[in-house]
Amino acid sequence: MIEQVADPLPQASFAKVVLELDVNNHPGVMSHICNLFARRAFNVEGILCMPVSDGKRSRIWLLVFDDHRLEQMVRQVEKLEDVLNVRHHGAGHEVFERLEGFFL
């Protein structure tokens, strides 16, 4: 009798999506979010974060692959205490496109 192992992960797709997160602004927030993606082996292609309005909140933009695990990933992000809400955008969202000039 040979011990069986779990099925391999299905191939990831190459379509991208942009996620927009409203979060509380304190030093641990980026760590919570990046750690969540990293420990689930979910690659983040791009990340932007700036404080908004009075500095109590920040907005984080994430560029990620539209993998079959994305829905589960978003549900995990929504569980984080410091994440106030999550919005989906298509890959064509201009936030990362307008920054392309800085990454030539």
Partner 1 sequence: MTQLTGAQLIVRLLERQGVRTIAGLPGGAILPFYDALSASTQIRHVLARHEQGAGFMAQGMARVSGVPQVCIASSGPGATNLVTAIADACLDSIPMVIITGQVPQSMIGTDAFQEVDIYGITVPITKHNFLVRSAAELLDVVPDAFRIAMSGRPGPVLIDVPKDVQNQLVEVGEFPPPAVADMAPQLDMAAIESAARMINEAARPVLYLGGGVVHSGAAPLAVQLAEQGGLPATMTLMALGAMPMDHPLSVGMLGMHGARYTNFVLEEADLLICVGARFDDRAIGRAAQFCPNAKIVHIDVDRSELHKIKNAHVAIHADVTEALEALLPRVKVTLRQDWLARVADLKQRFPMQFPAIDDPRSHYGLVKAVADALDDEAVIATDVGQHQMWVAQAYPFRRPRQWLTSGGLGTMGFGLPTAMGAALAEPERTVVCFSGDGSFKMNIQELATLAEEGLNVKIVLMNNNALGLVYQQQALFYGKRQFASRYRTEPDFVKIAEGFGVPALDLDLADDPRAALAKALNEPGPCLIHATIDREQFVYPMVPPGAANTEMIGG
Contacts of 4 (CB under 8 A, 6+ apart): none
Task: For residue 14, give both structure tokens.
Answer: 């190459």
32 contacts partner 1 (rule: CB under 8 A): yes
- Applying CB under 8 A, among 1, 41, 50, 104 the residue interacting with partner 1 is 1
Stretch that binds partner 1, among 8-16, 23-31, 43-51, 86-94 (CB under 8 A): 23-31
68 contacts partner 1 (rule: CB under 8 A): no
Residues that bind partner 1 (CB under 8 A): 1-7, 27-28, 31-32, 35-36, 39, 71-72, 75-76, 78-81
